[in-house]
Structure 1
Amino acid sequence: MTNKTNILTRWQLERKIPLGIIIAIILQTLTAIWWAAKLDSRGVMQEEWFQKNQHLAEKVFRLEERLIAIHEEINELEARLNHVK
């Protein structure tokens, strides 16, 4: 029985919390909230940029298709010239 009471007396929790720990937890919480808000605003900014510039991506795709077509025509012309010689 004395062994159990010794174990119980060693594992008592104190209700004292240092002021430094409270301030540190509050600061960490505020920092996490600020970071999450900043991350969200970055996502919104990237989404807006993508919406504004989506037409540019379409233009680049069209230009790429035209370039491929021109390249094929040049190859055909070279083949004809080589065939005529």
Structure 2
Amino acid sequence: MNEDDGKWRLDRHIPISLIVTILVQTGAFVWWGATTDQKVMVLKERLDAIAPNSDRLTRVEVKVDTVQQSINRIEGYIRGQK
């Protein structure tokens, strides 16, 4: 009845320290995953909060470019009159 039938068995040859190590590593991995998920959620909330400002900033940049072009054109007229 002691034949090896190819099935996995847990017996007393596995040290308890190995089992504890595997459990500790599994717990650490779960903890790391949970904290990483929390960090990602915080970053997503921050990104969602500043997203409307990026569109507004783009519009301001376009207006500044237009004003700069107008200033350059006015300076050109002034230099041409002198």
Aligned residues: 72
Unaligned runs of 5+ in 2: 1-10
Q: Is it true that 1:25 corresponds to 2:22 in the alignment?
A: yes
Secondary structure of the 1:53 match is helix
Aligned to 1:54: 51
Equivalent of 2:80 in 69, 74, 83: 83
Q: Is it true that 1:70 corresponds to 2:67 in the alignment?
A: yes
**How many angstroms does 1:42 deviate by?**
1.3
1:33 maps to a residue whose letter is V
**Which deviations, in whole Å up to 9, do the C-alpha atoms of 1:48-80 show, x marking residues without a partner?**
111122111122111111111111111101111
Could you tell me how far apart the structure 2 residues matched to 1:42 and 1:57 are?
Answer: 22
Q: Which piece of structure 1 moves more, 30-39 or 14-23?
A: 14-23
When normalised by structure 2's length, the TM-score is 0.77
Runs of 4+ residues deviating >4 angstroms: none
2:58 maps to a residue whose letter is F
**How many angstroms does 1:15 deviate by?**
5.3
Q: How many percent identity over aligned positions?
A: 25
More helix, by proportion: 1
Unaligned runs of 5+ in 1: 1-13
Could you tell me how far apart the structure 2 residues matched to 1:27 and 1:48 are?
Answer: 32
